[in-house]
Amino acid sequence: MDLPKHFVIRESSHRVLNPIESAQLATLGAALRLPAGGTLLDLACGKGELLCTWAREHGITGTGVDISTAFLADARARAADLGVADRVTFLHGDAGAYVAAEPADVVACIGATWIGGDTPGTVRLMESSLKLGGMLLVGDVYWRADPPPEAVEALFGADCLSLPGQVERFHELGYDVVELVAADERGWDRYAAASWLSMRRWLDANPDDELAPEIRSELTRSQLQHVRWQRPYLGWGVFALLRR
């Protein structure tokens, strides 16, 4: 069980695997007023930047679960670099099937709301590892402006809501939104464009690899998709939720 190689190639230079920048991740950690010694479970943790930096800055402990062995290797190296390897643990596995043995103060799923089938399903999955009175952190997309049909088809389809629609959905699930840190066009550019250079460098170094046609196609498609649809229409944010 592992993440397909083209994802690893595409995001090889990324530290944060979402359109939120490191400074915004730090802003979110500070805004949540995390108690020292609190516990955090990060489902689909990627390279572990949230866990590692928050362990250093806020004294939390935590566990990250991800399907990618390559990303987890980067996460463990990052923990060692930041001196928090004794505070965070990274597990290889299916985040969509993981339930913590001990409920956590905070459960996060940042940008991987498909692990529970959809956003409501992922919220219910996260609840199974959350302490009573704990907080959920959900990173998800939304439409910033009314999209044309081509944008809906190219991106996330009917399950993607407007920002008010997202907040209303969380209300329907029984939660108050108590914090929000949203990506802007700069964040989208940094996330998307960094992958273009990574893919191009890989293609230059591996022209005869069996994955080269797929990577070439994705490089071309992703550039046009970003400038046509993602940048002008698609929003993304981390929503902090407390049960009503």
Q: What is the mean pLDDT of each run of 10 residues along the chain (244 residues)?
A: 91 93 93 93 97 96 97 98 98 97 97 94 97 97 90 78 96 98 92 96 98 97 94 95 97
Cross-strand pairs, 89: 63
Q: What is each CA distance from 91 to 8, 100, 169, in whole angstroms? A: 17, 11, 30
What is the reported pLDDT for 179?
Answer: 97
What is the reported pLDDT for 158?
Answer: 58
DSSP per residue, 171-232: HHTTEEEEEEEE--HHHHHHHHHHHHHHHHHHHHH-TTSTTHHHHHHHHHHHHHHIIIIIHH
Topology annotation, domain 5-184+235-243: Rossmann fold (3.40.50)
Q: Can you say whether residue 50 is alpha, beta or left, with left for phi > 0 and alpha for psi between -120 and 50 degrees?
A: alpha
Helices 49-58 & 69-82, crossing angle to 10 degrees?
Answer: 20
User: How does pLDDT run across 131-181, given as a tens digit for each residue?
Assistant: 999 999 999 999 998 989 888 888 876 578 999 999 999 999 999 999 999
Q: What are the residue boundaries of the structural domains of the chain, listed by start? A: 5-184+235-243
CB 63 within 8 A of CB 48: no
Overall pTM surpassing 0.85 (yes/no)? yes
Q: What is the dihedral of CA 45, 51, 53, 55, to 10 degrees?
A: -170
Which residues have a Cβ under 8 Å from the Cβ of 131 and sit 6 or more positions away?
103, 104, 105
